[in-house]
Chain A
Amino acid sequence: MLEGLLIGLQTALSFQNLLMVIGGCLIGTFIGMLPGLGPMSIIAIMIPVAISMGNPSAALILLAGVYYGAIFGGSTSSILLNAPGVAGTVASSFDGYPMAKQGKAGKALTIAAIASFAGGSIGALLLMIFAPALSSVALLFHSAEYFALMVVGLSAIAAFAGTGQVAKALVMTILGLIMATVGEGALFNMPRFTMGIMDLQSGFGFITLAMAMFALPEALFLVLKPKTAQAEQDSEIKDLRISRAEAKAIAPVIGRQSLQGFFIGVLPGAGATIASFLGYAVERNIATKAEQEEFGKGSIKGLAAPETANNAACTGSFVPLLTLGIPGSGTTAILLGALIALNVTPGPRLMIDEPQIFWAVIMSMFIGNLVLLVLNLPLIPYIAKVLSIPRNYLIPFILFFTLMGAYIGQNNATELLLLVGFGICATALRFADYPLAPLLIGFILGGMLEDNFSRSMQLYDGIGFIWERPMTLGLLVIAGLLVVLPSYRAHRARARAQGVADGD
């Protein structure tokens, strides 16, 4: 391994490859920062450039840099504008955006950058040490376990139970699950619930829905309720730095989520999105009562958890890609296509046949994460100033990127109509104080939940798969605990409070 490390370091430190890391990370963070633009479209656009370089190490280093750069930068638009451009950063907006509203945008961005850096670097370290051994872990999960894992992911909505909106959160989750069934499912031959409208056959687009739920209502809110918005804006951007107590609070979160996120990323059917939701749910549930109250209202732990997890998962997804040749997400599928076009076949033989590619990519991840941190930290005060842009300039800016993001992936104007229609509905729901995040969680997880459920039903000829495999049952029990535990704790706290009152 030491020899491999040296070869990798040598390759990664060549002038061309250093340029690729820095270039890839720059392009990635910039694209990621724009609301509505994710790594997938930019990587697809850059493939011809990468292939024309003819050097597989350089090409993969560049594309990987764009990938984790975009996840790194993706949190910026979630935190500042409540406009996540990637499914993996949706959870970052739960606590990041409230922090920004309280005038702590700089601190939120700093926490996101440090958490991303730690997640990415620890992930790269794990990748370096365990990649060969982990290829078998990637194959441990069957459809039944993926189904159970999605159920655990859904338990993240329990995080909204604390705000006294249990019923509303449930309604929105179910609405999200229902919306995920529109279009041609992966498992059915015919389109469902499209009402004969051809444009609905592929279902609703994630970006369209995310923009409609988060970014558009945000912009409309600024217009419709100018007074409160103005008041929020007046609050100065203060505290860029994190205090020692805060650092102490988030350090264990970052440690746990680097590991958890990485292992979820290794599973080909899970990925950064599930990792971020699970990270959020788990950290909330193991937090103390007082800290739990904070979640959803600007908790630093609630921001650090998904930010660490999604970056670690993004690195973890390179395990199945490089050691098995299996892409776990749309983005890694495009990366695989690029590798094959360059005559590199990822798989168990990659490390033996072309060690310089394998190790150079891992080494470049360390360099890349460092580059991202160094680039981002000094820029944070300037990026955070986006919020002090006067409303009449900021709103058109948000609207422009929102509409563009929805249109650009598919080149389909119907997406724009859907975006505006859903955006108006979402604004109305926001006025009625319904939380919108559960809808998006339901929508993202719904498709995978259904596919894996029906696959398992088919494989085991019925519901028997739940107790057929111990791991499935174990995961479902964990999901049950995650849901029940908070309300049980609350119940006990209430009972105790009553007891005290009675004693008086």
Chain B
Amino acid sequence: MTTFSLGRRALMATALAAMAFSAPAMADGHKVLDSIHFLIPGGAGGGWDGTARGTGEALTKAGIVGNASYENMSGGGGGKAIGFLIENADSNHGTLMVNSTPIVIRSLTGVFPHNFRDLTLVAGTIGDYAAIVVGKDSPINSMSDLMAAFDADPRGTAIGGGSVPGGMDHLVAAMTFEAAGKDALSVKYIPYDAGGKAMAALLSGEIAALSTGFSEAVDLAGAGEVKIIGVTSDERVPAAPDAQTMMEQGIDTTFVNWRGFFAAPGLPADKLAMYQKALAEMYATPEWEDVRARNGWVNIHNSGDDFKTFLEGQEQVIGDLMKKLGFL
């Protein structure tokens, strides 16, 4: 009951805010779309939920989209929503589904019966780099120190992460070791069911290093608890100018955990162009900057064909690595 009325109140507030903000915006002729329905493949409070609601908030407040609605459809780790969008494609031209790197990984392993090619690719909007971190008192200060520790005692140098074996954090660690000329198969990867528990394990000395998301690493490095010894970006990220990239340390590897939007298969081209225009225009607005900064997201915009090229490249790299690791 409470949640229902809260939801209604929140909706009303959004509608009011949309009205208030969109009036002057419409006068400027900014409005691209009347409404977007966001389909979120997971429950409230998760990463996908935050991305969809944050994007919707920026789009409506900036007056680019008149009205945004949200639907959480969890099940099958996200697979249910993908299936729903494909099965009910014709009646869902007004729907955008949020997704991220796992759609590539889980389609490869067959956990999802579909893959991104079965959907209409709209755009990748934000992303997060990956990072390898060690505790603040660790003798390890760089990737070469970590490699030396690994060479000395491969079984005693465990790398932890917040995902399952064969999941994102594992793949990043394997990718890095592979690029540094080590055998990815002999890396001892210890999975934790949440990022926080993995971080506790790192600080307690259970694992030697941790493979994690860059934004999470920056927060803990800021608190003086961990040292970031390698980032998977092309160039140093302004949020942590002291953190060296993998490339700088002679490890030829990059990785982006992207988040983006997909639409139903067979979406008319003009409608697709409208969605892409709306998202492209969003980046320049102060409303988006607000949302982005609040969540610590990095703008990584890949629209249409660029998005496709990017996804195919990622699928290739991840697929090869997973074959090597024996997950495929």
- B residues 255-301 in Cβ contact with A at 8 Å: 294-296
CB contacts (< 8 Å) of B225 on chain A: these are: 324-325, 347-348
Which residue of B74, B206, B207 is within 8 Å of A411 (Cβ)? B74
- Report if B167 contacts A (CB, 8 A): yes
CB contacts (< 8 Å) of B111 on chain A: these are: 184, 190-191, 201
- B residues 136-162 in Cβ contact with A at 8 Å: 155, 158
CB contacts (< 8 Å) of B15 on chain A: these are: none
Contact, CB under 8 Å: A188 / B197: no
Contact, CB under 8 Å: A198 / B155: no
Contact, CB under 8 Å: B196 / A327: yes
- B residues 210-237 in Cβ contact with A at 8 Å: 219-220, 222-225
Which residue of chain A has its CB nearest to the CB of B71? A411
Which residue of chain A has its CB nearest to the CB of B44? A44
Chain A nearest Cβ from B41, distance in angstroms: 11
The answer to whether residues A202 and B75 also contact, given A44-B45, A325-B220, A333-B194 and a CB cut-off of 8 A, is yes
- Per-position binary interface string of chain A over residues 117-141, scored 1 when its CB falls under 8 Å from any chain B CB and 0 otherwise: 0000000000000000000001111
Contact, CB under 8 Å: A198 / B75: yes
Contact, CB under 8 Å: A139 / B204: yes
CB contacts (< 8 Å) of A139 on chain B: these are: 200, 203-205
Contact, CB under 8 Å: A51 / B294: yes
CB contacts (< 8 Å) of A451 on chain B: these are: 192-193
- Report if B73 contacts A (CB, 8 A): yes
Which residue of A47, A143, A198, A409 is within 8 Å of B43 (Cβ)? A409
Which residue of B43, B165, B200, B294 is within 8 Å of A188 (Cβ)? B165
Which residue of chain A has its CB nearest to the CB of B225? A347
The answer to whether residues A347 and B224 also contact, given A45-B44, A138-B200 and a CB cut-off of 8 A, is yes
Contact, CB under 8 Å: B190 / A459: yes
Contact, CB under 8 Å: B200 / A199: no
CB contacts (< 8 Å) of A438 on chain B: these are: none
- Per-position binary interface string of chain A over residues 267-309, scored 1 when its CB falls under 8 Å from any chain B CB and 0 otherwise: 0110000000000000000000000000000000000000000
Contact, CB under 8 Å: B45 / A341: no
CB contacts (< 8 Å) of B63 on chain A: these are: none
Which residue of chain B has its CB nearest to the CB of A342? B294
Contact, CB under 8 Å: B192 / A190: no
- The distance in angstroms between the C-alpha atoms of A475 and B121, with both chains bound, is 53
- The distance in angstroms between the C-alpha atoms of A310 and B85, with both chains bound, is 42
Question: Could you write out 14 A-B pairs with CB less than 8 Å apart?
Answer: A41-B3, A41-B45, A45-B44, A142-B205, A187-B165, A190-B109, A201-B111, A202-B76, A324-B225, A325-B220, A327-B196, A410-B75, A411-B43, A412-B73
The 6 closest A-B pairs by CB, nearest first: A347-B223, A186-B193, A198-B76, A44-B45, A139-B204, A189-B166
Other than the given A346-B223, A350-B223, 13 more pairs (CB < 8 A) read: A42-B2, A45-B44, A138-B200, A184-B164, A198-B76, A202-B75, A269-B197, A328-B196, A345-B219, A348-B224, A408-B3, A410-B43, A412-B73
